[in-house]
Homo-oligomer: A and B are copies of this chain.
Amino acid sequence: MAGTNNAELNRDGTLPPGPVVVLVDPQMGENIGAAARAMLNCGLQDLRLVRPRDGWPNARAQAMSSGALDRMPEVRVYETTADAVADCHFVAATTARPREQVKEVHTPRTIVPVLSERIAAGNRVAILFGAERTGLENDDIALSRAVITVPLNPGFSSLNLAQAVLTVSYEWRMQCVGVCPAELHRGDSLPVPHHLLEEFLCRLEGELDTHHFFRTPEMRPAMVRNIRNMFTRADLTDQEVRTLHGIVTALTGGKKSKSGY
């Protein structure tokens, strides 16, 4: 695929380092294209093919890549797996089944720190993926330093080739972006300062008193607590509190709060 290397993925314009992805004996162009898309989604760009069944370039791969192949460096094609990884210092093989070979067995999650350490040390690392139905040959596994197995549902563990590429690429990406804790997205809105929330709650409680919401004085404290909990838990913004004031104003017949809401 005569793609041009025009991707600018790092802010400084350099290509991000990352594992090389090697597809050995891939059959369907669609899977090659989908794998390329998944790679670039995750910032990986060095795709190599060993004996692609339908030759290369491949129009179906191109279509399924959704533009990824045009934005990645040119895909390289090799006659043997050994040729494809000739310049690599560490090779890992993805396989669903443990084989009768003595190897470190990783998940996509545990291999990433290993790859990362290697890359930081200046090594080039490669991950092998086998053919759609048959997986990697034992000889390909033998030339690998480690095996990667995705711990899938044992009752239905056959993963699509591009999906397999995604699991490793995704783990790589997650490690690159670091720990992303959950956050509250507020757009341009600010969280409300407590005094404005308090002002609203007091107003609401006053209106509820006025409208005889609390059946008995004994029930009032617990009910007020429940109402306050509800609005506090919602972690409101300034704008949302203004909206709530507007709702109270509307429901009470247009009588604005003392603050003019």
Contact = CB atoms under 8 A, between A and B. Distances in A.
A106 B182 CA distance: 5
Contacts of A203: none
Interface residues of A, number: 61
B163 A109 contact: no
A50 interface: no
A205 B109 CA distance: 40
| Oligomeric state, in copies | 2
Interface string A57-92: 000000000111001000000000000000000000
A192 to B, nearest CB: 11
A223 interface: no
A155 interface: yes
Interface in A32-75: 34, 37-38, 40-43, 66-68, 71
Nearest to A186: B102
Interface of A: 7-9, 34, 37-38, 40-43, 66-68, 71, 98-107, 109-111, 114, 146-147, 150-153, 155-160, 162-163, 166-167, 170, 173-174, 177, 180-189, 235, 237, 240
13 contacts: A7-B156, A37-B160, A37-B163, A38-B160, A40-B153, A41-B158, A66-B158, A68-B156, A98-B185, A100-B188, A103-B184, A114-B182, A152-B173
